[in-house]
Chains A and B, each alone.
Chain A
Amino acid sequence: MKNVLTVVAATLALNVMATDVPVQGNVQMRCLITTDIPGVYGNPTPHTLSTAVASGGVLPVVRYDITLADSYKAKITTPTSFSSSPALIDTVTWTGSTAVAQTSDAGMSGYEAAKVTYDATTEYDLTVAGSTWFSATLSATNGYDKAFPGGVYSAVLVAECIAK
């Protein structure tokens, strides 16, 4: 009986069919802009708003994911006006700077040195596929050291990904 069961089991084992289940994926070349941290203005002095951590602010962080090397440019433009604020009677002085905060590939180490800055815009040539995080330090200073009136202030940073 034991031998019969062995033969049956062996026969069944021979009939087992192995089937390959194909799993396919398609990585399309693309650029993805992710707003990791929107950023917050700190108010270190009555006439200054700044996203610098030392000023009590939070740096906005934008991540660019690209799947094709040397096909895109990142352009980040810091704000030069408030999108909403209380009425201001003095001129506001704006400063902004953008820097590479983190990279997913060692080949991106040269991005910061190769960046091009003009007006309020900084351009990076994304020559390596992968993810790059950019942070921006923004500040607004009210004219003649006058305190900003109380209220809610907001400004918009523009992150662009341009195909080359």
Chain B
Amino acid sequence: MNNRGVTILICTAVFIAGLILTVDAKAHEMTPTYPKFESSFVSGVMKTKMRLFNRRNDVKYYEIGVFDSEWKPVPFVTSYKLLQMDYLETVSFDLYINTKDLSNSTYICSKSKLIKSDVISTGIASRICSKIK
């Protein structure tokens, strides 16, 4: 390969690397992985704090759900079960569960809600579940 060939190869590699680095990442994150519950201001009700981070610019809503080990829904209370979140926004929310339901609760999940008209060809819905231990 001559010098011109090597130069073209390097320029192409740099261009592709630049292209990869500028690709817009779209991510969904929820913490903590293993939430700890504490007593709330209401007797018989336990609470925990969860944090959700929206780095998906194609998603504005996340649905919160609590499930038992068989993935059956468990009653819970949050300010909103469907959180509206802007791109790059972080939301911390308190989640309340009856003490009697807490022993059956296994997962706290957040699921991205895609708007039907926004899905072009194939869309990807993401769901992250933390585990209550």
Most buried by A among B30, B33, B119, B122: B122
Q: 15 pairs across A/B with beta carbons < 8 Å?
A: A30-B33, A31-B33, A31-B128, A34-B25, A34-B27, A83-B123, A84-B116, A138-B122, A155-B119, A156-B114, A158-B124, A159-B124, A161-B127, A161-B128, A163-B129
A158 and B129 CA atoms in complex are apart in Å by 13
Q: CB-nearest residue of chain B relative to A164? A: B131
A35 and B122 CA atoms in complex are apart in Å by 11
Q: Which residues of B contact A (CB under 8 A)?
A: 23, 25-34, 55-56, 58, 107, 114, 116-117, 119-131
CB of A40 within 8 A of CB of B116, answer no
Known contacts A156-B123, A162-B131, A164-B131; 17 additional CB pairs below 8 A are A28-B31, A33-B28, A33-B128, A34-B26, A38-B121, A38-B123, A40-B122, A41-B121, A51-B122, A62-B124, A154-B119, A154-B122, A155-B119, A159-B124, A160-B126, A161-B127, A162-B107
Known: A36-B23, A36-B25, A71-B33. A155 touches B129 (CB 8 A): no
Which residues of chain B come closer than 8 Å to A33, judged between CB atoms?
27-29, 126, 128
A8 and B27 CA atoms in complex are apart in Å by 58
Task: Tell whether A29 is near chain B: CB-to-CB under 8 Å.
Answer: yes
CB of B122 within 8 A of CB of A79, answer yes
Known: A28-B31, A34-B25, A163-B34. A154 touches B127 (CB 8 A): no
Q: CB-nearest residue of chain B relative to A160? A: B127
A160 and B107 CA atoms in complex are apart in Å by 12
Q: CB-nearest residue of chain A relative to B59? A: A35
Q: CB-nearest residue of chain A relative to B108? A: A163
Nearest CB of A to B95, in Å: 15
